[in-house]
Amino acid sequence: MRLEILPVLGIGDVTEGDDLAELIGNAAPWLRDGDVLVVTSKIVSKAEGRLVDVPADGPERVAARDEVLAAETARVVATRGATRIVQTHHGFVMAAAGIDASNVAKTQLVLLPRDPDASARALRTALRERYDVDVAVVVSDTMGRPWRNGLTDVALGVAGMAALRDHRGEVDPYGNELSLTQMAVVDELAGAAELVKGKCDQVPVAVVRGYLGAQRDGDGAGAATLVRDAALDLFSLGTAEATAAGLRAAATLTDRPGATPPDPAAVARAITAVAEAVAPGTTFTLVTDEEVRARLVATLPDWPAGATALVLGAPAGPAHPANLIRFGADLHRLRAALAAESVPSVLLPPPAGSTAGAVLAL
């Protein structure tokens, strides 16, 4: 097996209403069945009229661009300075929702195609019907990524082949099962095509020949299958945004006893974490003796059944209001530290007659 990657030259400038199948069919009469046609999303967007008029410069341009970005954004993932990483309505996580101001007039912005999988399918169908050639089509765009400098081209849409190549269940020559390997081959195809497109000015289309062979399939589920559900993603939010979410969670902790007794090591870590922050002399006692616990719980009418007790003692001294306020703040510090260890808690009023301490139900 060998691959060739061929630029499609002579496509020229694409404008709204252009017929991409005709432009490509005429520029590449040498297209063959089984070729993978990789098309830069920008010319798809332009042909589909996904352009917005904006002022060429000044604060009006910034304001207009912000408005366009908001409309293209399903969810803000991370921001820093002027950078906005967002999840688009398609599910892609991209800087500025993939809105682009390059290779377009200064008074226009290019949006991503509305449905890149549909764009790929339509182009594939048109090429088959009008040029009698059965190709796969990848609609590509350039994206950054966490942890690594530099951008790469990846797929926004695909038709005529599966986005992923699945090695799961295969066994290597040593008998180890390849349990986790699904390769995002359409992203690799998009990147391979960029190697040719990026080095030729004005080459928005390239062909990968030799990859598909007999493995062609129908339109499949498209590049939409590449979108990972945010709930399954370990990096669904930027670090700063998630840290702020943690601070907000601390601000709004609810009273909730744990479903199971807490790990004493986790409680100990939480106590250690706040030791320097609380008033000197504050004491922390995780009640493990069942008899002591039963006696304590008997004084607390609202005790959640089955909860573990953590007793906090205020520093010795007169119960001055300022000291009690500080003690209350320190209690909440500990509750936040416990929450960081995934230990929920309930703050109970101190036992009747006591002014020197408080009890958390864990």
> Which residues within the stretch 76-115 sit at the binding site for a copy of itself (CB under 8 A)?
78, 80, 83, 85, 87, 92-93, 101-106
Strand 309-313 relative to strand 205-209, pairing: unpaired
Mark residue 62 as left, alpha or beta (left: phi above 0; alpha: psi -120 to 50; beta: remaining): alpha
13 or 19: whose CB is closer to a copy of itself?
13
Query: What are the tokens at 173?
Result: 């020559």
Residues 114-133 that bind a copy of itself (CB under 8 A): none
**Residue with Cβ nearer a copy of itself (127 or 359):** 359
Which residue, 26 or 239, has its beta carbon nearer to a copy of itself?
Answer: 239
- Give the range of 119-127, 256-264, 301-309, 333-341 binding a copy of itself by CB under 8 A: 333-341
**What is the total count of residues that contact a copy of itself (CB under 8 A)?**
118
Report the distance separating Cα 160 and Cα 222, nearest Å. 9
Are the C-beta atoms of 123 and 39 separated by less than 8 Å? Answer: yes
- Give the nearer residue to a copy of itself in terms of CB position, either 247 or 259: 247
Q: Which is nearer to a copy of itself, 290 or 320 (CB)?
A: 320
| 26 phi, psi to nearest 5 deg | -75, -35
Pairing of strands 83-88, 93-95: antiparallel
Type and span of the H or E element at 305: none
Q: Which stretch binds a copy of itself (CB under 8 A): 44-52, 246-254, 286-294, 301-309?
A: 246-254
* Site pattern 299..328 for a copy of itself (x: CB under 8 A): --------------------x-xx-xxxxx
Closest CA to 35 of 164, 118, 128: 128
Among 70, 277, 292, 298, the residue binding a copy of itself under the rule CB under 8 A is 277
Residue 344, H or E segment: none
Q: Which of residues 164-183 bind a copy of itself (CB under 8 A)?
A: 164-165, 167, 172-176, 178, 181-183
Decide whether 102 or 260 has the Cβ nearer to a copy of itself: 102
Bridge-partner residues for 198, per DSSP?
none
Question: Of 16, 3, 2, 5, which is closest to residue 200 (Cα–Cα)?
Answer: 5
| Contact call for residue 272 and a copy of itself (CB under 8 A) | no
Closer to a copy of itself by CB, 36 or 159: give it: 36
Query: Could you say whether residue 18 binds a copy of itself (CB under 8 A)?
Result: no
- Minimum gap (Å) between residue 170 Cβ and a copy of itself: 9
Q: Which of residues 181-200 bind a copy of itself (CB under 8 A)?
A: 181-185, 187-189, 191-192, 194-196, 198-200
In the set 86, 127, 331, 359, which binds a copy of itself (CB under 8 A)?
331
Strand partners, 360: 310, 347
Distance between CA 43 and CA 159 in Å, rounded? Answer: 17
- Backbone φ and ψ of 108, nearest 5°: -135, 150
Residue 170: helix, strand or coil by DSSP?
coil
Cβ closer to a copy of itself: 64 or 273? 273
Reading across the β-sheet that carries 93-95, which strands appear in turn?
Answer: 73-80, 83-88, 93-95
Instruction: Give just the sign of the alpha carbon dihedral 45, 47, 48, 49.
Output: positive
Beta strands in 46-135 (DSSP E): 51-53, 73-80, 83-88, 93-95, 108-110
Q: Does 254 bind a copy of itself (CB under 8 A)?
A: yes
Span from 21-29, 47-55, 132-140, 143-151 in contact with a copy of itself (CB under 8 A): 143-151
Distance CA 297, CA 303 (A): 6
Segment 217 to 236, residues that bind a copy of itself, using CB under 8 A: 225-228, 233-236
